[in-house]
A and B are shown apart, each in its own frame.
Chain A
Amino acid sequence: MTAVLRALALVFAAVWLSGCATTLIPSAYRTFDAESASEGELDFHGLPLQSGQLVVSDSGDPDSLLMSMLGEEYTSYGHAGILSIEAGKAYVYEGYALLWPFLGGPPTDAMHGSIRRVTLQQYIGRQRVTAIFDPAPGVDKAAVAAFARARHEDGTEFDPYFDWRDHTRLYCTEFAALALHAGGRSLPTPVRVRDNASLRTALDWLKVQAPAIVTAGSLTDGAERVALISRRLTAREVEAYFAAKRELHRRFTDDQKLGNIWSWSWRGLQLRPQIEAFLEASSLWPHETAAELADDWLGAFERPDSRWGKLDTG
């Protein structure tokens, strides 16, 4: 009976995740803010949306935090897509892959996906924080959206190895960067992957050899944020949460181990309990206190014989 109930719960979860059973109710979100006075092509529950706008997000998952920590420069958002208004409905085009069953080798070899189209509602439902940006003035948004639709229609594959040098397959931010470039934005300078030995061990296993990656943060430079959305966090809490992530990035220096932040279980990559607690607690405090808060939360497990000490804030 337990197995049946568990299977039913999984089916329900899968239906919910696939977007079949969701209804977006803005009042259920703690942040659903329009941040631009300009009118959009579509009024999406009060948000002024236009085709060709950039959508970036943070899912709050452990692997999303990994994306924020991967580059030498911090980025708040780990995922990106391109907005397109079609027949009065808002869609997001994004690079996305599923992990298929496999018996050996790294999971990147078993990831298969493409540039897909989902409704903005479905996209938002998967994320802890979503932000929508108007590209810099001068960018042809119609051309941006046209590029996105074309890559969806021609079946461009997802690139699980995050290789910016090869555009035949695209990862999410690479796809968004090229779409913006099609509209006239200059290509971003990829951010160098951190020279961290622990990270390199994992990336070698995953066959990710790219020396640099395009981050979502590099795509928002010069762009204007027009909307911020979060179900759980207020706008102030989003700021504090991102400050906490930035503090983690600052502390994850080249001699740190992945195991200080993540662990591995049958559920896959997990956050260490104190990291999760730190990120949860961060939203309770002003964003300026992230460093102090990190000392309190991450130093609480310190022992005198440990060679790992608290941050010297003096």
Chain B
Amino acid sequence: MSRAILIVFLLAMSSGCINLPREVASELEPVGHHRQDHFHKP
């Protein structure tokens, strides 16, 4: 059980800690107008 608590602790601690730099966050935004996701012709 102590192992499980450790995992929960790690999950809880790590989940909110990742702040993406602006340039990376920007790449994870969809492309195009109206913030929609599209694939174009390869």
Contacts and interface: CB of A to CB of B under 8 A. Distances in A.
A14 B27 contact: no
Nearest to A248: B39
B11 to A, nearest CB: 7
A18 B18 contact: no
Interface string A100-144: 111110010010000000000000000000000000000000000
Given A202-B27, A259-B27, A259-B30, A98 B39 contact: no
Given A262-B28, A268-B18, A101 B10 contact: yes
Contacts of B41: 309-312
Nearest to A16: B4
Given A205-B24, A260-B30, A17 B7 contact: yes
24 contacts: A10-B12, A11-B1, A14-B7, A18-B4, A20-B4, A202-B24, A250-B42, A257-B27, A258-B27, A259-B29, A259-B30, A259-B37, A260-B31, A260-B38, A263-B29, A275-B37, A298-B38, A298-B39, A303-B33, A303-B34, A303-B36, A306-B32, A309-B38, A310-B41
Interface of A: 7, 10-11, 14-15, 17-18, 20, 98-104, 107, 110, 198, 201-202, 205, 250-253, 255-264, 266-268, 272, 274-275, 294, 298-299, 301-303, 305-312
